[in-house]
């Protein structure tokens, strides 16, 4: 049987602690070349949305975790627009599929016999693995005694960022800022309940990050949200998107660690098409001055090749610069095993997704 | 509704002529950068099959055809072994999934709203697009008056090679050789019926290719099967695999055209793993002396940028060196449209494969 899982089922099944633990083991395998992951690919062509200029994007990434016996491909089929929201240029995926839905899929395979074990949406898995990855950044880089968090952002990613942070450190207080006051209030109320930790809504980014041990940047901004003048000794800064952190910040850090910094996506763009962020030259890439190439990777830190922090005074930063397919093999694998145990999911005949003729 | 199609349904729906015609249009788009395709990626890790050394491979490729409004990802999840069969080292995919089946899937999306339109096995589509592609090679390179074919190989790919050739030229006689005499006899009987063309079984490769207008190499050998001393003026040689043609043959050709020769797969291999063909150094890659880089591509020939053949005396060769994801978007798109029209396929709720949370 091949399982079809829903985001609701995955939400009920997946626990952040398990995802962090499993990913931690597999990053060690990745570091020694036992697990593999291939760089993301993005293909872009012009499209229309409601008569306006948009882009159709097909994105894919994959990875193999022999330790678990899983491989996975993660696929995204997106209609993308670039509106300006609250003064910032943003990249927005439109839920253009029937019933106003997005399209992100994970196909999970067995490395033992190749069979397709499960098909599931990527939304919940995606934020769990981003959260777990930044959580590992915190585990290996933040002060052991870190107790306070300032979070910038209150969207889809912000929740799992907090969940992961609270899993790896004993957090006692969280301050939250995001530009929309209703959003940040709702988010804070919801997360206080989930985390059982005191949370405060504040009125500026500076207020949120002031005096805290850990700063979590969890926005979808493609412009900087954390700046140099806010830096204090001993802080750990965690980011889910490269442009969030001003480069002057990175130059002051004693250690900047990237998730998977060496590689750029394999990008194929229809001739003449230039996505608006590149066209406007407003992206972080236009004026890079920090040497990202010299940063160690998360897998090297987890394997012990480099140390995240040498003293409580050091300033550290983890940038989740780019996702990898291996994260989906690992996280979807955890969800699949738990779904099997719990008898959850729609069961379809595996023969529907295999064949008796040579591929 | 998202359609689940089977190979049997696709076999009934797809006609070679439609696939050739649609691909021909889309290669023109590809040549001017309107359609996109990203290079294949292969990830390989060690595996076991029946206790013996094997390799698990996860392969993917994708492409977007805006003209049709389709994009597709093709995925293969394979257990691979390298036995020596009838004296030749072969790369064999084991049908290791439940019920002794292989695992190859195509996920078809709409470029208009991103939705997953269909999921189908890749087997029938795969051989149809290989056949159609070599058929386009024949259309643009073989003599207009070509009437006879010698085919080397009687396996899964050989049938569509003949079907495509007979679609683009008025073929009157076909000679067939493959190492296994039972296979070549069965194949010839089956194809005579399908094509309505006289077919002869012969006892050697040399006999098969002697005196014919078109040679079709359609084997899964990773060693040469067509050699220089068999060359005659005016012949067109068609190959589905780079190592099939001796390089001295290519040097004598007036025109060698590749399907998509510029790019190598994006290969990720677990550390220390060396597939047997590379280990033995027996592959064609070990001793390349022909300049493949100077060959035009099929899309350039179809768009009219280069001519396939200038006179009836010239020797031409088309090598289907590497598949591209775009072929799957095009061919699966044709199958999907026909399935919709015919009301064929299992219908699953599209909501199962989309989501209401951000990917």
Report ipTM (2 d.p.): 0.93
The pLDDT tens digits of the residues spanning B268-303 come to 999 999 887 766 655 556 667 899 889 999 999 999
pLDDT confidence bin for A82, thresholds 50/70/90: confident
User: pLDDT tens, B320-358?
Assistant: 988 999 999 999 999 999 999 999 999 999 999 999 998
Domains in chain B, start-ordered, CATH in brackets? 2-125+324-353 (3.30.1780.10), 127-262+278-319 (3.40.50.720)
Tell me whether B30 touches chain A (CB under 8 Å). Answer: no
Q: Residues B136-157: pLDDT tens digits? A: 999 999 999 999 999 999 998 9
Average pLDDT over residues B154-172: 96
Task: Establish if B37 touches chain A: CB-CB under 8 angstroms.
Answer: yes
> Which tokens in the block code for residue A306?
């480099």
pLDDT of A39:
87
Of A152-156, A339-343, B313-317, where does mean pLDDT reach its minimum? Answer: A152-156
pLDDT reading at A282 higher than 60: no
pLDDT at B280: 60
pLDDT at residue A104 greater than cutoff 90: yes
pLDDT of residue A286: 60
Identify any residues that bridge with A107 across adjacent strands, giving them in sequence order. A73, A119
d(C-alpha A8, C-alpha B359), whole Å: 14
**Percentage of chain A surpassing pLDDT 70?**
96
CA pair distance B104, A358, nearest whole angstrom:
9
Average confidence (pLDDT) over A208-232: 92
The whole-number pLDDT of residue A224 equals 87
Counting residues of chain B whose pLDDT is more than 70, the rounded percentage is 96
Instruction: Write the residue in A34, A114, A270 that is nearest to B77 by C-beta.
Output: A114
Model pLDDT, residue B356: 96
For B:274-333, CB contacts with A below 8 A are none
Task: Give this prediction's pTM.
Answer: 0.94
**pLDDT of A167-178, one tens digit each?**
999 999 999 999
Quote the pLDDT of residue B163: 97
pLDDT above 90 (res A206): yes
The residue of chain A with its CA nearest to that of B346 is: A352
Burial of A289 (0-12, 13-18, 19+ CB in 10 A): exposed
Q: Do A73 and B73 touch (CB under 8 A)?
A: yes
Check B103 against A93: CB less than 8 A apart.
no
- Best of A72, A90, A103 to substitute, by most chain B Cβ atoms within 10 angstroms, is A103
Whether residues A71 and B78 touch (CB distance < 8 A) is answered with: no
Q: Which of B35, B105, B355 sits opposite A7 (nearest CB)?
A: B355
pLDDT tens, B81-112?
A: 988 877 777 789 999 999 999 999 999 999 99
Rounded to the nearest angstrom, the minimum Cα separation between B214 and chain A is 26
Instruction: Suggest the residue from B103, B267, B323 to mutate for an interface test with chain A (most A CBs closer than 10 A).
Output: B103
Angle between helices B181-195 and B156-168 (to 10 degrees): 30
Q: What number is the average pLDDT over the span A205-216?
A: 97
Report chain A's mean pLDDT, rounded to a whole number: 94
Does the distance separating the beta carbons of B352 and A6 come in below 8 Å? yes
**Are the Cβ atoms of A56 and B34 closer than 8 angstroms?**
no
Q: Is A254 helix (H, G, I), strand (E, B) or coil?
A: coil
Q: List all residues of chain A from 72 to 131 with a beta carbon under 8 Å from chain B.
A: 73, 75-79, 93, 95-105, 107, 109-116, 119, 121-124, 126
Q: What is the pLDDT of residues A313-324, one digit of tens each?
A: 999 999 999 899
Closest approach of chain B CAs to the CA of A52, in angstroms?
A: 12
Q: What is the pLDDT of residues B212-233, one digit of tens each?
A: 999 999 987 777 899 999 999 9
Restricting to A residues 40-59, those with a Cβ less than 8 Å away from any Cβ of B are: 41, 43-48, 56, 58
Q: What is the 3-state secondary structure (H, E, C) of chain B?
A: CEEECCHHHHHHHCCHHHHHHHHHHHHHHHHCCCCEEEEEEEEEEEEEECCEEEEEEEEEEEEEECCCCEEEEEEEEEEEECCEECCEEECEEECCECCCEECEEEEEEECCCCCEEEEEECHHHHHHHHHHHHHHHHHHHCCCCCCEEEEECCCHHHHHHHHHHHHHCCCCEEEEECCCHHHHHHHHHHHHHHHCCEEEECCCHHHHHCCCCEEEECCCECCCCECHHHCCCCCEEEECCHHHECHHHHHHCCEEEECCCCCCCEEEECCCCCCHHHHHCCCHHHHCCCCHHHCCEHHHHHCCCCCCCCCCCCCEEEECCCCCHHHHHHHHHHHHHHHHHHCCCEEECHHHHCECCCC
The span from the CA of B176 to the CA of B209, in Å, is: 9
Quote the pLDDT of residue A283: 52
What pLDDT sits at residue A140?
98
Work out the pLDDT band at A352, boundaries 50, 70, 90: very high
In the predicted structure, residue A275 carries a pLDDT above the cut 70: yes
Q: Comparing B187 with B87, which gets the higher pLDDT?
A: B187
Verify whether the Cβ–Cβ distance B45 to A36 is below 8 Å: yes
Nearest to B354 among A101, A155, A359 (CB): A101
Mean pLDDT of B105-123: 98
Q: Is A6 on the interface with B (CB under 8 A)?
A: yes
Question: What are the chain B neighbours of A48 within 8 Å (beta carbons)?
Answer: 112
The burial of A308, by beta-carbon neighbours within 10 Å (0-12 exposed, 13-18 middle, 19 or more buried), is given as buried
pLDDT band of residue B63 (cuts 50, 70, 90) is: very high
C-alpha dihedral (A339, A341, A344, A346), degrees to nearest 10:
80
């Amino acid at each position: 049987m091949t399982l079809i899982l829903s985001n609701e089922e995955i939400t009920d099944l997946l626990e952040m602690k398990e995802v962090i633990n499993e990913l931690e083991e597999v990053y060690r395998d990745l570091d020694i070349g036992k697990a593999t992951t291939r760089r993301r690919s993005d293909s872009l062509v012009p499209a229309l949305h409601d008569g306006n200029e948009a882009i159709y994007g097909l994105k894919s990434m994959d990875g193999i975790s022999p330790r678990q016996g899983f491989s996975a491909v993660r696929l995204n089929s997106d209609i993308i627009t670039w509106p300006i929201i609250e003064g910032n240029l943003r990249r927005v995926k439109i839920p253009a599929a029937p019933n106003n839905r997005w399209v992100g899929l994970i196909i999970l395979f067995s490395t033992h016999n190749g069979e397709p074990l499960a098909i599931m949406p990527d939304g919940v898995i995606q934020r769990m693995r981003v959260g777990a990855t930044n959580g590992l950044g915190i585990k290996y880089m933040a002060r052991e005694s870190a107790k306070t968090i300032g979070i910038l952002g209150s969207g889809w990613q912000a929740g799992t960022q907090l969940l992961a942070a609270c899993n790896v450190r004993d957090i006692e207080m969280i301050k939250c800022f995001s530009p929309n006051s209703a959003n940040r209030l709702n988010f804070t109320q919801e997360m206080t309940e989930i985390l059982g930790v005191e949370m405060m809504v504040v009125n500026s980014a500076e207020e949120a990050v002031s005096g805290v041990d850990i700063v979590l940047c969890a926005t979808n901004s493609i412009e900087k949200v954390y700046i140099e003048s806010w830096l204090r000794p001993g802080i750990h800064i965690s980011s889910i998107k490269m442009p969030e952190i001003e480069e002057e910040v990175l130059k002051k850090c004693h250690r900047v660690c990237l998730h998977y910094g060496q590689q750029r996506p394999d990008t194929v763009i229809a001739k003449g098409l230039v996505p608006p962020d590149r066209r406007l030259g407003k992206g972080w890439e236009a004026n890079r001055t920090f040497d990202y190439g010299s940063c160690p990777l998360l897998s090297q830190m987890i394997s012990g090749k480099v140390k995240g922090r040498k003293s409580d005074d050091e300033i550290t930063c983890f940038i989740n610069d780019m996702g990898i397919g291996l994260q989906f093999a690992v996280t979807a694998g955890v969800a699949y095993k738990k779904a099997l145990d719990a008898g959850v999911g729609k069961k379809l005949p595996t023969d529907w997704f295999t064949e008796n003729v040579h591929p």
